[in-house]
Chains A and B, each alone.
Chain A
Amino acid sequence: ILNVEQSPQSLHVQEGDSTNFTCSFPSSNFYALHWYRWETAKSPEALFVMTLNGDEKKKGRISATLNTKEGYSYLYIKGSQPEDSATYLCAPLIYNQGGKLIFGQGTELSVKP
């Protein structure tokens, strides 16, 4: 079974704080790394799909980096807002695991006003 680790499991920050999460995954047979945001009572929403080592992607105050050689990705949120409160999921797509994403357990972010 593929091991995808996310840390921390949960995070409580104040509005305006910047924060970051880690996703670790096996580096061999790597194809792509997905990040999703899942707000309560809504559908998981794709944030980034990353494929290249050293890639960095940005969407507003959220950015992500990828290291495929060592098998990790960081997600950064600059100046957290209450609306950023959600569970953030990462999922690698690995060649020998068939054509589906394997999700980590997620990082639950709570931003207090």
Chain B
Amino acid sequence: DTGVSQDPRHKITKRGQNVTFRCDPISEHNRLYWYRQTLGQGPEFLTYFQNEAQLEKSRLLSDRFSAERPKGSFSTLEIQRTEQGDSAMYLCASSLLMGSRGYTFGSGTRLTVV
């Protein structure tokens, strides 16, 4: 297993466009998390899955954001009608259960909305 993979690494999009990011977690990990990080801040929780079930979604997240994890494997995060404020690093992480050995993070997707 090569760790957590995220695609693409970088995305530049025009305001109003839709974007979709993909995350492939470690295969044995049943939990998958999405975080967003902006300059000078720590990663901010967006949502997480246990297997295919989405267990929690941040109240800070607007309806323009949606995430899926079909069949409990890879996950996608879609942002509709992007805004400049959506520009950030989007991080995916996975863990076994509650993460007693820590989370394993991907390298992130850097989104720039112009």
Interface residue ranges, A against B (CB under 8 Å): 4, 6, 9, 31-32, 34, 36, 41-46, 49, 89, 91, 93, 98-106
Provide the bound-state CA to CA distance between A31 and B99, in Å: 11
Q: Which of A9, A42, A103 contacts B43 (CB 8 A)?
A: A103
Query: Are B98 and A105 in contact (CB-based, < 8 A)?
Result: no
B interface residues, how many (CB within 8 angstroms): 28
Can you list 21 residue pairs at the A/B interface with Cβ under 8 Å? Answer: A4-B42, A6-B42, A32-B98, A34-B99, A34-B102, A43-B4, A45-B105, A46-B101, A46-B104, A49-B101, A91-B42, A93-B99, A98-B48, A99-B31, A99-B50, A100-B33, A100-B48, A101-B99, A103-B35, A103-B43, A104-B42
Q: How far is the CB of B48 from chain A (nearest CB, A)?
A: 5
Chain A contacts for B33, CB-based, 8 A? 100-101
Query: Are A100 and B45 in contact (CB-based, < 8 A)?
Result: yes
Given contacts A99-B98, A103-B42, 10 further A-B contacts (CB under 8 A): A34-B99, A41-B107, A43-B3, A43-B106, A44-B105, A45-B105, A89-B42, A102-B45, A104-B42, A106-B41
Chain A contacts for B31, CB-based, 8 A? 99
Chain B contacts for A101, CB-based, 8 A? 33, 45, 99, 103
Question: A46 with B103: in contact, given A89-B42, A99-B31, A105-B40 (CB under 8 Å)?
Answer: yes
Query: Are A103 and B99 in contact (CB-based, < 8 A)?
Result: no
Provide the bound-state CA to CA distance between A108 and B53, in Å: 35
